[in-house]
Amino acid sequence: MALVLGLAALLWGVGHLLRLPVQARALMLGLLYVAVLSLQVVLPEGAELRRATGGSAAPWLLIGGAVALVLLYREGLRRLRARAAPPPAPETARQGPFRDVELERYARHIVLREIGGVGQKRLKEAKVLVIGAGGLGAPVLLYLAGAGVGTIGVIDDDTVSLSNLARQVIHTDARTGMPKVFSAERAMNDLNPEVTVKPYNRRLTPEIAEALVAEYDLVIDGSDNFDTRELVNRACVATGTPLLSGAIGQWEGQVSLFDPVRGAPCRACVFPERPAPGLVPSCAEGGVAGPLPGVIGTLLATEAVKEITQAGDGLAGRLLIYDALAAEMRSVKVRRDPACPVCGGV
């Protein structure tokens, strides 16, 4: 037995000199123990090697049992101490409203006088619903995620096609055929895993519009048809939710903030009637310059950040019009219609 104990001490000493971790040295001793116990079981009584390693398995079994009891006792103490110790304070509580990674991510916002830490906290707590994950929705969603808007909902029932990719920069060729909301969700999570994305892979209908809009602080309409725009406007008026609306066609786009609760017009005040059939062709019919949705979508995202952080002057009561061919941008005043059938009673 002295031979085995000496060999065990030698292994431990060599491991210490080689600066092996305790777990590695313990593993070597465990292998030695198994080898010695195997010799006691396999070799016949009276064998020289068996006598040199103790002569019987009984003492080694007693030693192994004692070691096992000590280890179990230590593990039990460790668990008791862990249960008795107070829970660690959440990271956010130790470091204020933002964790270190968030402070680094949003540093350029936080140093802006008009946003600062207070404004960034408002972005983190905000809930924004985006209607459509197409041309306008693509830049809006990316910039909202990058800006740190805490909860971003996106509703769309379309799938990604090759004809989208020239202007809908949130999608990729590899995601052709995928529902747009899930493609957008993947892109936003890749850009900023700190935000929560809620994808709704369905068409916005009158049955769900008001309940869905009521869950959010701000709605951004990037839809491409008049039925959806009118539906979104009615739902926002009914719930008192501010509506940022954008529209594009060929080389021109426009942006405005509709908010009757604060005295601004709703969309129906400014556009009370639908245009005559054929007067305003869709993007599929009349085409659209690829970068144009990026310009208008970025304006929408900028106005959303301003609205949430209360920075600068917004577009309530104004319609911003961009003419890409003329490289010209102008703003016209719009007023609320007291007789508006949608918001007249607000």
The domain boundary residue, chosen from 84, 117, 144? 84
Q: Given pLDDT bands bounded at 50, 70 and 90, which one contains residue 92?
A: very low
- Structure confidence by residue, pLDDT tens digits, 278-310: 666 666 667 788 899 999 999 999 999 999 999
Q: Residue 143 corresponds to which amino acid?
A: Y
What distance in Å separates the CA atoms of residue 270 and residue 335, rounded to the nearest whole number? 7
216 and 182 within one domain: yes
Q: How far apart are CA 219 and CA 130, in angstroms?
A: 6
Q: Is 95 inside a domain boundary?
A: no
Domain count, the chain: 2
Question: Same structural domain for residues 126 and 257?
Answer: yes
Do 156 and 300 sit in the same domain of this protein?
yes
On whether both 196 and 228 belong to a single domain, the answer is yes
Instruction: Please tell me the predicted confidence (pLDDT) of residue 200.
Output: 96
Is the model more confident about 169 or about 62?
169
* Residues 20 and 130 reside in one and the same domain: no
Q: What is the DSSP string of 202-229?
A: S---TTTHHHHHTT-SEEEE--SSHHHH
Residue appearing with tokens 């890749």: 190
Residue 338 lies in a domain: no
23 and 168 assigned to the same domain = no
Least confident range from 106-115, 194-203, 270-279, 324-333: namely 270-279
Decide the pairing of beta strands 243-249 and 127-131.
Answer: unpaired
Residue 203, domain member (yes or no) = yes
* Same domain assignment for residues 166 and 267: yes
Q: Look up the CATH number of the domain holding residue 204.
A: 3.40.50.720
177 and 56 in a single domain? The answer is no
Tokens 């529902």 belong to residue:
179
For the stretch 138-168, pLDDT in tens is 999 999 999 999 999 999 999 999 999 988 9
Alpha-carbon 131 to chain mean position: 18
Residue 185's Cα: distance from chain center in Å? 8
- Are 12 and 66 contained in the same domain? yes
Please report whether residue 35 resides in a domain.
Answer: yes
Q: E strand or H helix at 333, and its extent?
A: strand 328-333
Pair 79, 143 in one domain:
no
C-alpha span between 271 and 309 (Å, rounded): 28
Shared-domain flag, residues 264 and 145: yes
Share of the chain above pLDDT 90, in %: 60
Pick from 84, 116, 141: which residue ends a domain?
84
Whether this prediction's pTM lies above 0.85 is answered by no
Q: At what angle do helices 292-309 and 137-147 cross, to 10 degrees?
A: 40
What's the rounded mean pLDDT across residues 124-129? 96
Residue 45 falls within a domain, yes or no?
yes
Structural domain for 16, as ranges: 2-84
70 pLDDT tier (thresholds 50, 70, 90): confident
Give CA–CA dist 15/12, Å, rounded. Answer: 5
pLDDT on residue 9: 76
Q: What Rg value do the Cα atoms of the chain yield, rounded? A: 34
Closest CA to 235 of 267, 264, 203: 267
Beta-strand pair 151-155/196-200: parallel
